[in-house]
Amino acid sequence: MKAFLTAFAAIVVAVFPAQARKEKKFVEASVIEIATGNTQLLLQVDSRGEVRTVHYGAPVGDPAQFTDYDAGAYHAPDAYSATGGRFFGQEALHVLYADGTHNTELYYVSHETESRQDIVTTTVHLKDFFTALEVDLVYDAYQKENVILSHSVIRNTGKKEVKLLNFASSSLTLKADDYLLTHFHGDWATEMQMERELLTHGTKVIESRRGVKNTHVQNPSFVLSLAPHYSETDGPTIAGALAWSGNYRISFDIDRGDRLNIVAGINPFASAYPLGAGKSFTTPEMIYTWSADGAGGASRNLHRWARKYAMWNGGLVNPTLLNSWEGAYFDFKTPTILGMIDDAAAMGLELFVLDDGWFGMDYPRNSDAAGLGDWEPNTNKIPEGIDYVASYAHSKGIKFGIWIEPEMANPASNLAKKHPEWIVQSPGREIYQDRNQWILDLSNPAVQDFVYDAIDRTVSLSPGIDYVKWDCNRAVMSFGSPYLGEEQDRFFVEYTQGLYNVCRRMREKYPKLIVQCCSAGGARVDYGALRWFNEFWTSDNTDAISRTRIQWGTSLIFPACAMGSHVSTVPNHQTGNITPLKFRFDIASAGRLGMELQPKTLSGEERALASRCIESYKGYRDLVFGGDLYRLASPYDGDYYALMYVSEDKRRAVVFCYCLRQVNRSVGTKTFRLQGLDPALSYKVTEQNVDESCWWGNGKAFTGAFLSEGGFNPALLGSNSSAVFVLEAL
């Protein structure tokens, strides 16, 4: 009889699954509004308790209009689609339960809204009533910046451990006639190359599985034009970026109903994350913005938000600098460094950075083959000590900075010999080298302590250290963690969490320290890292011609104040290109200006020009750091490149114009239509760093309407010619 009753109960549960979810109740249909000043994201809750995105874009008025909206919901993605139920598309959540099942069905429980200053946070509580798994969808809506951040909190309220096989930050559903995707690819020295494609049915994926250095090959960001053509100025456009420095995955799937579902978050590759009973997991944030003003409008939204909320001391104007790397490499002693400091100060620069090569005694850092991990100064190179050099810089009226690569170790180092168990490795297999180095296992708390101590000891070498260049020059290969033992699936997630833990500790002790995020150039250009850093090194490629495309692509997602851009020698060390010194300065001045060369190689005339360019940059850099960016001409589309920054009150602007290739001088001059100006104001236009201007209107005043409607046509008549103009309202 007992066996019969057990079997009967199983049949009842199988045939009537609602009986196995006694807590689940039908709810009253409603709409949840997540709004900013100029956008609305609307989530529809139907009577079954299923939650779907029904609108993201321009405000549509009363959200209740969407209460009974029929979007063809059958097989449509939920606001956070899970494996199971009626959905067959790209899931945001995939859970393996202790009994071997994979099905999760999330239903609405409740939601609440909380406001703080300019941010409105909406939390939507979902639950699988069969397994007791709970998910919170958290949306932070930044009112003035029109940016929405989305992340999820996954809680195991059951009694047994589960495994998260896919645990995305966000799932966003859109409906439009066309979806034109702009995304970014590259490699070392070719970062953030822009690529466009019209999405078709099926799935497009942007991802990284490199563990570290995750933004060299692809960047976890995109611009989506809801139209068949890309525009800087017109049309509904969405920009998105994931705030995560580890493996990521962003998928774009157009279903049979022509809906686009964007699922973004941590890459599930080799990361089946265990979630014990009573434990929770918080995903990284996915950042979205919508604009009716094309890609330019979406970029400006992101930039305003980033400067205020997404980077460390985003309102700080970082100093101009001279970095020692391309001027000295590993071959220097104290006189070389002091001479470079003298020259930096004489040219008007504000900071000197001592790059790689200053450390290692038993294993001297005379090349990239030794010394990483042994962070004691090399007294054979600088016998007086780092404090002596830093104090000398301060005596010359400039700040001092130093390079460090704390996550790495050379096999030829005391660290690697003392702690072989701290190296990322797969037991029994070769530990592969890249750039003659290994990577330390930041999933291990002891390694986190070491990395933090390495930074702390370095900064403590002198009270005169104002700036740190934090580098990271290799990705993960043949991954594994001796510390994690049999739980290797946690490695990729916990490495990144360990990195952030070190960054948090660094900032708790050194909140005013200026820290650059460098990773073999632009391999850690993401909003997850930027929250701890003041700027990033955009690329190791300092060639001005190459930088046109690198900086254009980067500017679609990241603000100019974060982009380190340096003037280097010619022939350029990465490409061999030869360009005029003024052209190099005018390119670098569109970001955070620096120099990376041996100043003693410059002629007297060149040094005078450098001083002039640096001085004029200081006069308008507040616009570069805090102004609204308008991209005027793309280096991808022709022979000219142009951009401008405009102050919030529209009374000042700076315009950068470049001729990359002159084909026929008889054609005439290039007309640039300026943007962002007040058409009724009159602006005095002054070209910088020249005695004879390339524009007939230099020094005169013109209305914003004249400058925007075709009157601005500087005569850039030679390849690699350039001009910078400052506009001031009268």
CB 132 within 8 A of CB 99: no
Compute the distance between CA of residue 587 and CA of residue 683 in angstroms, rounded to an integer. Answer: 24
Q: How many helices (H) and strands (E) does the chain have?
A: 13, 35
Compute the distance between CA of residue 371 and CA of residue 436 in angstroms, rounded to an integer. Answer: 10
Q: 232, 135, 139: which is closest to 182 by C-alpha? A: 232
Compute the distance between CA of residue 610 and CA of residue 584 in angstroms, rounded to an integer. Answer: 10
Q: Does an H or E element contain 416, and which?
A: helix 414-418
Q: 469, 467, 450, 456: which is closest to 506 by C-alpha? A: 456
Residues with catalytic function: 471, 540
Q: 146, 120, 158, 440: which is closest to 279 by C-alpha? A: 158
- Which two structure tokens, joined as six digits, stand for 257? 């109903």
Q: Find where tokens 């090194």 sit.
A: 537
Q: Find where tokens 């142009």 sit.
A: 642
CB 650 within 8 A of CB 678: yes
Strand 465-470 relative to strand 399-404, pairing = parallel
Q: Count of alpha carbons within 13 Å of 181, Cβ hemisphere only?
A: 22
Burial class, 4, CB count within 10 angstroms (exposed 0-12 / middle 13-18 / buried 19+): exposed
- Which two structure tokens, joined as six digits, stand for 516? 């650059």
Q: 631, 671, 625, 634: which is closest to 652 by C-alpha? A: 625
Please, which residues have CB within 8 angstroms of residue 321's CB and are 6 or more apart in sequence? 344, 349, 350, 351, 352, 353, 401, 467, 594, 595
Q: Count of alpha carbons within 13 Å of 670, Cβ hemisphere only?
A: 25
CB 112 within 8 A of CB 92: no
Q: Does an H or E element contain 610, and which?
A: helix 604-626
Beta bridge partners of 348: none
CB 359 within 8 A of CB 374: yes
Q: 708, 702, 729: which is closest to 647 by C-alpha? A: 729
In SS3 terms, 699-724 reads as CCEEEHHHHHCCCCCCCCCCCCEEEE
CB 71 within 8 A of CB 54: yes
Radius of gyration of the chain (CA): 28
Q: How far apart are the first and last CA of the chain?
A: 96
CB 181 within 8 A of CB 226: no
CB 524 within 8 A of CB 497: no
CB 546 within 8 A of CB 554: no
Q: 528, 412, 516, 471: which is closest to 188 by C-alpha? A: 471
- Which two structure tokens, joined as six digits, stand for 566? 């340096």
Q: 96, 573, 105: which is closest to 329 by C-alpha? A: 573
Compute the distance between CA of residue 552 and CA of residue 534 in angstroms, rounded to an integer. Answer: 20
